[in-house]
Amino acid sequence: MGDKPLPTEQGYKSAYKLACEQLKNCDIEEQCQRSGAQFKVIDSKKVITVEYLNKPYQIVLPDVAISALGSKEEVPLKGKILILHYFTQAKGTPMTGKLITFKELPAGANYFPTFSKRAIRPLIERFGTEPHLLQAAARKLGGYKADYGDVAVTIDAFRRIPITLVLWRGDEEFSPEGSILFDKSISDYLPTEDINVLCETIAWKLVRLHTS
Within a domain: 3? no
- Residue 147 CA to residue 128 CA, distance in Å, equals 17
Neighbours of 70 (CB within 10 A): 7
| 108 and 203 within one domain | yes
Q: What is the pLDDT of residue 61?
A: 94
Cβ atoms of residues 157 and 52 within 8 Å: yes
| 113 and 83 within one domain | no
Given 60, 89, 118, which residue is the final one in a domain? Answer: 89
Q: What is the pLDDT of residue 122?
A: 96
Within a domain: 2? no
Cβ atoms of residues 76 and 70 within 8 Å: no
- Residue 135 CA to residue 154 CA, distance in Å, equals 9
**For the chain, how many structural domains are there in total?**
2
| 75 and 109 within one domain | no
| 107 and 61 within one domain | no
- Residue 30 CA to residue 151 CA, distance in Å, equals 38
Q: What is the pLDDT of residue 212?
A: 60
Block means of pLDDT (10 residues each) for the chain, 212 residues, are: 56 93 95 97 93 97 94 93 98 97 97 96 94 94 96 98 95 90 98 97 94 67
- The one-letter amino acid at 89: Q
Q: Does pTM surpass 0.85?
A: yes
Q: What is the pLDDT of residue 211?
A: 74
Give counts: helices (H), strands (E), the chain. Answer: 7, 9
